[in-house]
């Protein structure tokens, strides 16, 4: 277990110590549950009461936070407590993974595979012919690296990940358990007898730098060319990315979303959970797509918000919802008018 003093932590997150700078911690805790020897943080005002009752040894708080009572814990003041705590967690995780070095057995590494320095390859990993791994790559159990796969530096691949042949993984990439990269795209040509002929999928998948991919996500290889996940993209768990899709840099997609083949998603796009995309469409930069939205066509206006099925501009969609809600009352009024017209017609 790693142990740090308040002074060391303050240096990591560029904060100022208020209290005993020599006090040490070796774990993290929620402010309402933390015990002695743990570090916590306060970012949400709803939890301010726990600031005065927590047993945490160190607390990260905002520089402007006013204290209403005396506090036993050592404080580290920073401009943004949440961001600072996230930075600390990241550094802690990096330090833990840096301790993992070497090759465990049994594992298989093909003779033609090339592996950089400071690597870790866990037992039961399989690295195929022609694979290339950069420096500081961490491969956990039951990972399969296919033929001619290229993996950059500072990459972490968690248990059970499979990367098919010829795929390319950039630097500072994290891939979580159960994810499949480079499986065949869903390509089948209908035949006259009603059956389907498989279309060979000859392309690959390219994952650029600083990408994180959640657990049990599937990214299909291109039919021809590449399926591309651009720099800085963050993908949640259980996402389906089909063949020849391109996801623009710094876009984020939440769980259970599905993107059909050859769709192009722009930069800085935000996609809610369970959203679905038709194939061969384009989404402009900066668009926000609400959860469970069905995107059936291209949207070319940047920085708009889409919702509903089929997807529409949020304001238009909200108006439509109001109209739908009022349909029963409108139907009743139409029926009353029809009766009135019929009565007037009989009198005439």
Active site residues: 243
CB-neighbour burial class of residue 204 (10 A; exposed 0-12, middle 13-18, buried 19+): buried
């Amino acid at each position: 277990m790693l142990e740090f003093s308040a002074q060391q932590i303050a240096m990591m997150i560029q904060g100022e110590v208020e209290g005993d700078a020599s006090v040490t911690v070796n774990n993290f805790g929620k402010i309402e549950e933390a015990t002695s020897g743990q570090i916590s943080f306060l970012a949400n005002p709803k939890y301010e009461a726990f600031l005065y009752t927590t047993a945490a040894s160190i607390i990260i708080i905002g520089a402007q936070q006013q204290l209403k009572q005396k506090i036993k814990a050592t404080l580290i003041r920073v401009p943004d407590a949440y961001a600072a705590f996230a930075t600390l967690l990241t550094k802690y995780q990096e330090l833990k993974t840096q301790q993992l070095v070497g090759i465990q057995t049994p594992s298989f590494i093909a003779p033609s595979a090339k592996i950089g320095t400071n690597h870790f390859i866990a037992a039961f990993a399989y690295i195929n012919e022609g694979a290339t791994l950069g420096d500081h790559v961490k491969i956990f159990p039951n990972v399969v690296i296919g033929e001619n796969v290229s993996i950059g530096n500072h990459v972490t691949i968690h248990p059970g990940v499979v990367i098919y042949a010829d795929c390319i993984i950039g630097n500072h990439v994290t891939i979580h358990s159960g994810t499949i990269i480079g499986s065949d795209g869903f390509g089948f040509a209908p035949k006259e007898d009603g059956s389907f002929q498989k279309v060979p999928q000859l392309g690959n998948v390219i994952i650029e730098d600083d990408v994180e991919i959640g657990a049990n996500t599937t990214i299909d290889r291109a039919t021809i060319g590449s399926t591309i996940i651009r720099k800085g993209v963050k993908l949640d768990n259980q996402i389906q990315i089909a063949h020849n899709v391109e996801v623009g840099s710094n876009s984020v997609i939440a769980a259970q979303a599905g993107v059909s083949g050859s769709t192009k998603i722009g930069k800085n796009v935000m996609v809610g959970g369970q959203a679905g995309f038709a194939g061969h469409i384009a989404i402009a930069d900066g668009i926000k797509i609400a959860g469970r939205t069905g995107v059936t066509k291209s949207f070319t206006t940047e920085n708009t918000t889409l919702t509903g099925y089929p997807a529409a501009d949020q304001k238009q969609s909200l108006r439509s919802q109001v109209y739908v809600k009022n349909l029963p009352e409108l139907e009743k009024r139409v029926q009353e008018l029809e009766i009135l017209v019929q009565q007037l017609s009989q009198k005439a």
